[in-house]
A and B are shown apart, each in its own frame.
Chain A
């Protein structure tokens, strides 16, 4: 049954073209302009503050990374890519990068993995809220304080060694935070202890947002609890997992306080991660321009991660249609 007559169906583009003719143009432009300025008024404080306090410094930092600004001798002499070539030639940068990658991988995989396990097993358990509170609690405490507490936990005569001694009966003297082979793992454990609560809560929120119906439908469709998890829950949780992963990666690259405080007595402290290395080069050594270049590398990495996440997110949303 076609009803459309040719007279009734003037093409949209034709109508728009007709309306755009001078005699018609701009009937609602006045209102649009007014709306724009009202919007600007509301945006102004946030935009001005973030632009001047956050974005301008980032640009300045990029510029700085191309100068010889070091100890006020070479002030703003252009250095081209010198800082970046120095980066590549400096074994410490390589070491710091490698460590950063290890650190970020560990601080992504472990908290997300454990967080997922916690989130799944705590749901609906008695005392759920108490348990959640306990696991989340370290997160509200400053990383510096956390660092101090764990510094003493890991100390040679600290709680951990004492605990192992008490269990094994043999004297233990491990300098957890002084040895190349233990320090990273030790800090990762602390980081995990502090951050898994956050990941868990984010995942719980993600789980809570999954509609109950498809899960019940799957149960009726004959799926075992494990199959329900694999085929329904996990795919629907994927977008949340992606967000959490991105946040974890960015947080991982940016992590400073914990590494700085806990690495206090470790000779390799400055290359524990890129963020620490940057702080060391800039604030301890005064190689500002070089440090700025490290910061730019860090920024580039996070941009890529964010971009990749956005890309994956679109694909994950694509899963839904």
Chain B
């Protein structure tokens, strides 16, 4: 019972509820500066259910993280329980610490509802040492070059790509990457039903993916140690968000020496440059917005000071331009982005209707475990069925 009174005691503090237990220490480092206390709530399903039911019972957490995309719009902002942060954003853009575009993922009907916890891009990490071992110099500039490199690596006995189905939800990662490299429009069309999964482009994407599997480019999808595999040299490249730098360095990789990254090139040269982004919103409830302590914590979070601590501890980039680059890779990618005027596309996960996420991603996973075109056709048929039915009902 002593422990219970301890809980009531901390109730006076500002609490940041989140599901990212692996960031707990980093978040608390910022919290120490900005006056909040982090509280992890795992696993994500539970966290989701907890937040949803809290909102339903009128006890919205004061400060919490979520996912961007459809769920942010339909399940959070739509409840009316999330505070608008237009004023704060105006401040931040005005003082030049954020670009206006960085608010886009958090904007619904012209209003901004969240600060970025992180603003990440999905890139191809690679291991320069292994590249060198296979005799590859430089990063691939085209899809074909990338495939050629893969061939070379394979020939040298090195698995080109680490790709696992760890935790059961990674199935969409290569799918979305190949899709945007083939046709960004078709990719975006998947989100609102304008592209059907029976579209030839989807088929083509699966064909390419399947061919790569056939050539033995991928590591065992059944591995449950993606990070350890990659860090341990189990593959030369790995498609991940740039937030992974911290994890990978923790696991022993060294930026520049054994770890670097490039943006996956497009299949055809005339496709515009682009990247998958992932933004985690940090938001507060309408009720909490009345509490100056909460507002102060939010302001502090996005401030140069907060962003600096965040970058230094977590290795994550939240979009504050004045914060130091958390590592050498983030500026490199940012530079690519600016140089090529790269478009940013939402992740498939956030883009598709939440109802369809689980079933579809399981279908992709089944393809990874059995990467034949036969299976691909099955997967396509299955997913097409799910989505067509959904859009038939929701249009």
B355 touches A268 (CB 8 A): no
* A285-B354 contact, Cβ under 8 Å, with A72-B52, A72-B55: yes
A283 is an interface residue with CB less than 8 A from chain B:
yes
Given A155-B224, A267-B366; A72-B56 close (CB under 8 Å): yes
- CA of A215 to CA of B223 in the docked complex: distance in angstroms? 56
Contacts of A284 in B (CB 8 A): 45, 358
The listed residue (A175, A178, A265, A286) touching B354 by CB distance below 8 A is A286
Quick one: given A72-B55, A286-B49, A286-B52, are A270 and B358 in contact (CB under 8 Å)?
A: yes
Q: Are A267 and B49 in contact (CB under 8 A)?
A: no
Chain B interface, number of residues (Cβ within 8 angstroms): 28
**In this assembly, does A299 line the interface, its C-beta being within 8 Å of a C-beta of chain B?**
no
Q: How far is the CB of A90 from chain B (nearest CB, A)?
A: 11
B165 at the interface (CB under 8 A from A): yes
CB distance from A60 to the nearest CB of B (A): 14
Q: What is the interface of chain B mostly: helix, strand, loop, or mixed?
A: helix
Counting CB contacts under 8 A, is A229 at the interface?
no
Q: Which of A71, A266, A286 contacts B168 (CB 8 A)?
A: A266
Across-interface contacts of A178 in B (CB, < 8 A):
222, 369
Contact between chains at A283 and B49 (CB < 8 Å): yes
Asked if B362 CB lies within 8 Å of chain A CBs, one says yes
Q: From residue 246 to 274 of chain A, which have CB atoms closer than 8 A to chain B?
A: 264-270
Interface size class of A (residues with CB under 8 A): 20 to 34
With a cutoff of 8 Å between Cβ atoms, the chain B residues found around residue A175 in the complex are 222, 369
Whether the pair B366, A265 counts as a contact (CB closer than 8 A) is no
Among the listed A75, A156, A268, which residue makes an inter-chain contact with B222, where contact means beta carbons less than 8 Å apart? Answer: A156
B230 to chain A minimum Cβ distance, whole angstroms, is: 16
Is A280 among interface residues, defined by CB-CB distance under 8 A?
A: yes
Q: How far is the CB of A295 from chain B (nearest CB, A)?
A: 15
Q: Contact mask A56-99 → B, CB, 8 Å, 1/0?
A: 00000000000000011001000000000000000010000000
Point out the residues of chain A lying under 8 angstroms from B165, CB to CB. 265, 267
Q: Is B12 an interface residue (CB 8 A)?
A: no
Pairwise interchain contact B362-A269, C-beta atoms closer than 8 A: yes
On whether the beta carbons of B358 and A268 are closer than 8 Å, the reply is: no
Q: Does B167 contact A (CB under 8 A)?
A: yes
The answer to whether B220 and A156 have CB atoms under 8 Å apart is yes
Asked if A280 and B168 sit within 8 Å, CB to CB, the answer is no
Minimum distance in angstroms from B45 CB to a CB of chain A? 5
B48 contacts A by Cβ under 8 Å: yes
Distance in angstroms between the alpha carbons of A143 and B168 in the assembled complex? 20
Q: Interface code A30-46, partner B: CB below 8 Å = 1, 0 otherwise?
A: 00000000000000000
B369→A270 contact, CB < 8 A: no
Going nearest first, the 10 A-B pairs with the smallest beta carbon separation are A267-B366, A267-B365, A267-B362, A283-B45, A72-B56, A284-B45, A175-B222, A156-B222, A178-B222, A178-B369
Q: Measuring CB to CB, which residues of chain B are less than 8 angstroms from any residue of chain A?
A: 45-46, 48-49, 52, 55-56, 74-75, 79, 165-168, 171, 220, 222-224, 354-355, 358-359, 362-363, 365-366, 369
